[in-house]
Structure 1
Amino acid sequence: MQAMTSALIRETFPVGPLQCNCTIIGDPVTKKAIVVDPGGNPDLIMSRLDAHGLKVVSIIHTHAHLDHFLASGQMKEKTGATLHLHEEDAFLWDNLEEQCRLFRVPYTPVPAPDQWLRDDEELACGCGVALHTPGHTPGSMSFWFPEAKLLIAGDTLFRRGIGRTDLWGGDYPTIERSIKQRLYSLDEDATVVTGHGPDTRLGDEMRENPYIRA
């Protein structure tokens, strides 16, 4: 999935053994970019950055399940970009090897995050903001780009679905609150990039999601 406007370059594609959606967000003027959830295939991610003429300065994570940051260490090594995560998911990040063992995925070590993401923090590209939307994990984040009407929801919200709450730190009442109060308060015309699978439209989820409606 590719999109380009005067304010934003965006490309989303599945990576890694669990086909997590990785998204590149770039400024067409400065050519600076952020990469969201590099869950594998670092060479593919680098090739897409090169195709857009972008330099990644920040690698940000919706949460710290293994499939969303398996290539983070390799991306940092290749680019020098900083790694960002919400602090409440630090326990998951620190247990990557155990996660990989449980899911029978090859383990590649990653360094500690450089900075903790904060709720309402402006992102490095200057065109978006981080939203703390816990529930799938305690530190789950979504990323909102208002001018582009683009929401990167990670595993919090899917097309006609929501994130699991039966894994480490998951909590259904919390994810319900995050979706209703934070995500469903945004522009209903927004495109939602989910953690896995196809994009959706926020207004459609508000009215038609069988799990949580506005």
Structure 2
Amino acid sequence: MKWEQVPLGPLQTNSYIVTEGYHCLVIDPGDEGKKLIQLLEKRKVVPQAILLTHAHFDHIGAVDIIRDHYRVPVYIHKKEENWLGDPSLNGSKFFMMPVSTSVKPANMFFEKEETITIGDFTFSVFETPGHSPGSVSFYFEEAEFVISGDALFQQSIGRTDLPGGNHDQLLKSIHSKLLALPEQTLVLPGHGYTTTIGDEMDSNPFLNGF
């Protein structure tokens, strides 16, 4: 299994392409849908689904372009079912975007923590709220990486001043779910550089003393 980080849009949100053979999962396609389709065609892979760690505008801007082009389902946590089409919830209303972000409803919903299989891919869904109420992380145990969305970053954590954010809840999510993973686990965040669980346990200043 391979993964590729693709920064997209004005906030350079990390989208991820997780590949197994000729199939892939597209995670958090935040913007520049045509660019992402060109990359998928160059890699000669076809998406089996779109997964969203959460519904903030910078993670969802290219959802409809990718979904309509490949006719694949979109997955999101049930708690953010209504966020995709609501600029006041997905945040685009507050960031002076040229056009407010509105995406068609998701097709499938995460409602609990579980290990699921989509096509060629089996992974665990962790509920990691705090940045937003329905934030989730995707853990690929055999490949030893977790896609953490905007929960955990290299030397930082997600902001909690947007609708539904909760700082204490975010810290609890990180410590109980993410830092419980093996220290060698690679963390693929929603922004910035990759890191490891061990590195963040040792040196992330936001996590010390919790």
Q: TM-score, normalised by structure 2?
A: 0.92
Cα drift, residue 11 of structure 1: 0.6
| Residues 1:23 and 2:16 aligned together | yes
Q: Could you say which residue in structure 1 is the equivalent of 2:86?
A: 95
Q: What SS class does the counterpart of residue 198 from structure 1 fall into?
A: coil
| Residues 1:64 and 2:55 aligned together | yes
Q: Could you say which residue in structure 1 is the equivalent of 2:147?
A: 152
Q: Which amino acid aligns with 2:103?
A: V
Cα drift, residue 108 of structure 1: 5.0
Q: Find the aligned partners of 1:74 and 1:123 in 2 and give their Cα distance.
A: 24
4+ residue runs over 6 A deviation: none
Deviates more, 1:40-49 or 1:132-141: 40-49
Q: What SS class does the counterpart of residue 46 from structure 1 fall into?
A: helix
Q: Percent of aligned positions with the same letter in both sequences?
A: 32
Residue by residue over 1:60-97, the C-alpha shift from the partner in whole angstroms, topping out at 9 and shown as x without a partner, is 10101100001101111111010110011224223137
Q: Find the aligned partners of 1:46 and 1:91 in 2 and give their Cα distance.
A: 26
Cα drift, residue 117 of structure 1: 1.7
Q: Which amino acid aligns with 2:129?
A: P
Q: Could you say which residue in structure 2 is the equivalent of 1:9?
A: 2
| Residues 1:120 and 2:118 aligned together | no
Q: What SS class does the counterpart of residue 121 from structure 2 fall into?
A: coil
Count of equivalent residues: 205
Residue by residue over 1:165-200, the C-alpha shift from the partner in whole angstroms, topping out at 9 and shown as x without a partner, is 111101112111111110011111011111111111
Q: What SS class does the counterpart of residue 181 from structure 2 fall into?
A: coil
RMSD: 1.6
Q: Which runs of 5+ in 1 are unaligned?
A: 1-7
Q: Which runs of 5+ in 2 are unaligned?
A: none
Deviates more, 1:105-114 or 1:174-183: 105-114
Q: Find the aligned partners of 1:60 and 1:9 in 2 and give their Cα distance.
A: 16
Residue by residue over 1:91-120, the C-alpha shift from the partner in whole angstroms, topping out at 9 and shown as x without a partner, is 422313773232122235421000102422
